[in-house]
Structure 1
């Protein structure tokens, strides 16, 4: 058998080896490994010097998600002071050094962007040898930092023009819940910035981080929209079970046991929800190092967007005592408690005092069936909401101390049918009868036709409209000023709908009885759902927080809620709040049947007004 000649390995000349070494592809490190090998934190940081992953181990997977080719968007919902911004800066540094591409960092304002460059980014670029070698400081500007192969643009969310030009591969969005809202001319800043990454759809990275403010805030909406959500779980040193650190598991003595607030906080301990054993701050470092991120929601096997959530109990810089002390200090001040919920618990603030539900409405049923009056009834009012295809209406009985009950509700298909409903004579249990004394009709849509209808039936209905801004009182009576119209000079009631929704929600929560808001026996679910289709939330508007009633879901109908608002305002116009002070009034006589007039065929001529 002929032997194959031995092939000697190719001998690389000594002078060629350095050149080949330069050409060899550089091994790409995950962001966490890159940071530990390269990042130097400045003296202004709480912990200065070389970056150590062991100090904040919960940041490792968040940073490495930026290196994962299957992950496109990282959403970090966080409390303050847990290293979230530093993790974002590490991801930027890794991209500059290992995989250059145009990048943008967006802050709440231009001023903050400039301060961040001076205080954090420039020191990072200069103190890290791997970045300093690529940094073109002489070519850089305040908001455009130049490097070999890429530029890092920095801007404020208050500059829409800067957010809507120049393709971007790496997008970093810091403290997004402090961004200004969208305007009539522009989308919200996050949407504008994300538009810039379209050219890099196959390899873009979007890193979004913020302390939450409200459920309607940008970061919470991004968390809910992510394809997967992860929370950090740590092992209990006693039972070994992996648990999620929750504020509810912090226990401290009661005020009766320990009157001194500082001492109460000092005795705070964490109770494991699995075994009931006590965990202390001494246990936390080892627990954090052994911790792991676990899916709490997963809508895809290979999610392109992943949200990470944690609270301040995980912070190595904060003790359990400090968390409890802060809570005890602010718990009785709504504004300060709001900040605690956001900045310490990383949860959105939600004022639940005026929260309502369909079940709550059904709990307000009495023993009086529909179309019958409770024995305490002294006044009947109506509320009317006009839609394109029908007219929603409600009739409500009123008694002393604002006690009220829905007597009937429904939909009319014409003005004539509505007139017949509102003209119903209701017998009183004690004798006599009542009719709807006054109804308010929403004139926000099909305005001219509604004005004409109210003019023809001015004995029982007045046009109304929700006010676009808060009023000093619950309503304001105005006059229609429309030259050439028959309705010119007709009364128009402007209604502060928010105040009436507050009143309805508050009284709905009272047990049935005096002063409560009630419904008839056998009330249907659709009415209950519509009456509670809105809830009151806190939103940011023009840089400040305002409370508004908004629909709970996009397509929810709220017509019966509007009807009840107008029925309540009609009751105010009839002095319902002073009913208890008034002597019992004689039963009103039924309204006379309408006499023939030149306008008697108006309904027929305008039958398409709904």
Structure 2
């Protein structure tokens, strides 16, 4: 009897101390992704219930595993929806509870968001993952079992809103996780910046970790954007199957075709093809091919590792789920493209891009509505014609632009010549544009006086050769300079048509234009509301449609930080504007007029029949210093 009683007592003692001894086990040597692969179970409400597989979202592995890197103190993730960023946060929380416990604060935009995230995401994760269910349930009995607080051996998780000063300012915490940072309150009550309040709670912890996660919002007003640029600035890049170059797959390089039909007076779209064009070689690859290509994170600012900050930017083009195919992404864009509010949602939550406020610029619809009926090819007031040409791999895009006094301009014709720029047919068709007799209502005509052709891209040698052949027609090659201080126009240089020719005997003129100065002048002129000085006229038809004005208004001047604390201004594409060729060709046509520097008085007399039309060839450097230039943008 005594032996049986002793055995019973030992059993009771073992049962009493077993849970305590279990908690004294050292943590396993696991990274967050390894822990998730071993223990995490997704609930039946998940898109893919069952055991977690990091291989399903390989881009999350690097992000999760740097949490266990002792050299990293802060992780920033900018991401679209449907890429698993919330699951990444949940895996980190699970790892904390099970392997490396400590006090943690999870901050949502509002307290209501905090309750919802706890009830719908954290609670189900704990219940479906046995190692968490045993620990958290054992410690969450009685009064401590609340929605906004989860206790576990060695630590506690507080879930709160960015607008709650009490939780952020009072609890020391080793871990700080901020979800949807761009939706946070500007101030936690009267206490100030919520993130700084939370970060202040970590000061006493030598091994503190913080994570910031959000979809981006408006450029220049995005907290997550600022945080991203403080880190390594890593992009998820894939290797081109044709040339081997590594690139981030972004919407600007997605090429698609679609059809539109009207149903009940509303447009209905169907996407017929989608592919990615490699920026290096121009080759087109489909979604299936690219998603099976090698991929890796590439840092633009690796020096940030020294400060312990890694930052990542991810969009939905890498999403593995059927609900976010490239075809579906394009459909979402098409359905939202005519509504700026809807389009911003697409850019932020799907394309993973910042939305840029257009500010006080005119809109596409405003310019579309002010188109005029000229009554003839050339309206009264036009004195000189120039042409700007942009060179693409499969076409030339051009605009013939009319110029009058005091900087007033008239769009005459915008067109596309399909074909590779290394074929003679394309250039012969351009000859038809610049040699055409454009007619006024009274029967008098003008021809294009000067044409500037962009030599950038993959056909530089062809542009040099073709413009050299047409130099007597005043057709010249140009290249753009993006430097802030670059003058709009300057004297040309001579360059060898064939750089491999040892003699380099055949040379053409090459003009360099300051594209920033030209774009600034264009945007300023577009704001002019009344015909006259610097006003821009546009005709009905002649290629001046919705896509033209979208391209003309495709860029916006933004300020960026430069080395040494200085600032740098740069022209960048606006969301929702895929093509910028209309802006470029107008820039080239204006630069051609600036360089041509015609005598407008003589041009007007010629049109009245007094003398031959005076168009002069652009001056060389030797000629130019003898005569002071005058700009079409001066206040005459």
User: Paired residue for 1:172, among 164, 174, 177?
Assistant: 177
Judge conservation of contact 1:77–1:212 (CA < 8 Å) in 2.
yes
TM alignment of 1:249-328, pairs within 5 A: 249-253=253-257, 264-287=270-293, 290-317=294-321, 318-328=324-334
| Deviation readout 1:59-89 (Å, 9 max, x if unpaired) | 0000011111111110000001110011011
Partners in 1 of 2:269 and 2:127 — Cα distance?
Answer: 46
User: Paired residue for 1:206, among 204, 210, 214?
Assistant: 210
Q: Does 1:65 find its partner at 2:71?
A: no
Query: 2:193 is matched with which residue?
Result: 188
Partners in 2 of 1:50 and 1:75 — Cα distance?
Answer: 26
Judge conservation of contact 2:291–2:318 (CA < 8 Å) in 1.
no
Partners in 2 of 1:261 and 1:551 — Cα distance?
Answer: 38
Partner of 1:266: helix, strand, or coil?
strand
Query: 1:75 is matched with which residue?
Result: 76
Query: 1:598 is matched with which residue?
Result: none
Query: 1:346 is matched with which residue?
Result: 352
Judge conservation of contact 1:249–1:271 (CA < 8 Å) in 2.
yes
Q: Indicate the structure (1 or 2) with the bigger Cα radius of gyration.
A: 1
Q: Does 1:129 find its partner at 2:134?
A: no
Query: 2:94 is matched with which residue?
Result: 93
Structure with the bigger RCO (C-alpha within 8 Å, sep 6+) is: 1
Shift of 1:133: 2.5
**Aligned CA distance change for structure 1 residues 192 and 508 (closer, same or farther; 3 Å):** farther
Shift of 1:284: 4.4
Query: 2:121 is matched with which residue?
Result: 120
Partners in 1 of 2:72 and 2:110 — Cα distance?
Answer: 28
Q: Does 1:41 find its partner at 2:42?
A: yes
**Greater fraction of residues in helix:** 2
Q: Pick which of 126-135 and 182-191 moved more.
A: 182-191
Q: Does 1:141 find its partner at 2:141?
A: no
Q: Does 1:336 find its partner at 2:342?
A: yes
Partners in 2 of 1:149 and 1:183 — Cα distance?
Answer: 28
Q: Alignment length, in residue pairs?
A: 361
Shift of 1:131: 1.5
Query: 1:452 is matched with which residue?
Result: none
> TM-score, normalised on structure 1?
0.54
Partners in 1 of 2:104 and 2:22 — Cα distance?
Answer: 29
Partners in 2 of 1:103 and 1:72 — Cα distance?
Answer: 14
Judge conservation of contact 1:77–1:310 (CA < 8 Å) in 2.
yes
Q: Does 1:230 find its partner at 2:234?
A: yes
Query: 1:107 is matched with which residue?
Result: 108
Shift of 1:512: 11
* Structure 2, unaligned runs of 5 or more: 1-13, 363-407, 409-520, 536-557, 568-636
TM alignment of 1:211-610, pairs within 5 A: 211-215=215-219, 216-226=221-231, 228-253=232-257, 264-287=270-293, 290-317=294-321, 318-352=324-358, 354=360, 509-510=526-527, 514=531
Judge conservation of contact 2:260–2:268 (CA < 8 Å) in 1.
no
Judge conservation of contact 2:258–2:272 (CA < 8 Å) in 1.
no
| Deviation readout 1:163-192 (Å, 9 max, x if unpaired) | 111100011111111112137933122122
* Structure 1, unaligned runs of 5 or more: 1-14, 357-402, 404-503, 519-549, 557-610
Partners in 1 of 2:47 and 2:262 — Cα distance?
Answer: 33
Partners in 2 of 1:267 and 1:212 — Cα distance?
Answer: 28
Partner of 2:311: helix, strand, or coil?
strand
**Aligned CA distance change for structure 1 residues 240 and 263 (closer, same or farther; 3 Å):** farther
Partner of 1:122: helix, strand, or coil?
helix
Judge conservation of contact 2:237–2:249 (CA < 8 Å) in 1.
yes
Judge conservation of contact 1:510–1:517 (CA < 8 Å) in 2.
no
Partners in 1 of 2:191 and 2:532 — Cα distance?
Answer: 46
Query: 1:51 is matched with which residue?
Result: 52
Q: Does 1:151 find its partner at 2:143?
A: no
Partners in 1 of 2:210 and 2:55 — Cα distance?
Answer: 25
Partners in 2 of 1:184 and 1:514 — Cα distance?
Answer: 52
Judge conservation of contact 1:510–1:516 (CA < 8 Å) in 2.
no
Partner of 1:105: helix, strand, or coil?
strand
Partners in 2 of 1:174 and 1:507 — Cα distance?
Answer: 40
Partners in 1 of 2:39 and 2:297 — Cα distance?
Answer: 25
Shift of 1:118: 1.6
Judge conservation of contact 2:31–2:68 (CA < 8 Å) in 1.
yes
Partners in 1 of 2:140 and 2:272 — Cα distance?
Answer: 50
Judge conservation of contact 2:174–2:202 (CA < 8 Å) in 1.
yes
Judge conservation of contact 2:168–2:198 (CA < 8 Å) in 1.
yes
Partners in 2 of 1:28 and 1:178 — Cα distance?
Answer: 36
Partners in 1 of 2:308 and 2:356 — Cα distance?
Answer: 29
Judge conservation of contact 2:255–2:275 (CA < 8 Å) in 1.
yes
Judge conservation of contact 2:41–2:128 (CA < 8 Å) in 1.
yes
Partner of 1:44: helix, strand, or coil?
coil
Partners in 2 of 1:51 and 1:112 — Cα distance?
Answer: 25
Judge conservation of contact 1:354–1:505 (CA < 8 Å) in 2.
no
Partner of 2:301: helix, strand, or coil?
strand
Partners in 2 of 1:184 and 1:41 — Cα distance?
Answer: 36
Shift of 1:507: 5.4
Partners in 2 of 1:75 and 1:516 — Cα distance?
Answer: 49
| Deviation readout 1:393-416 (Å, 9 max, x if unpaired) | xxxxxxxxxx9xxxxxxxxxxxxx
**Aligned CA distance change for structure 1 residues 168 and 238 (closer, same or farther; 3 Å):** same
Shift of 1:37: 0.5
Shift of 1:257: 12
Partner of 2:171: helix, strand, or coil?
coil
Q: CA RMSD in A?
A: 3.7
Partners in 2 of 1:221 and 1:505 — Cα distance?
Answer: 30
Query: 1:3 is matched with which residue?
Result: none
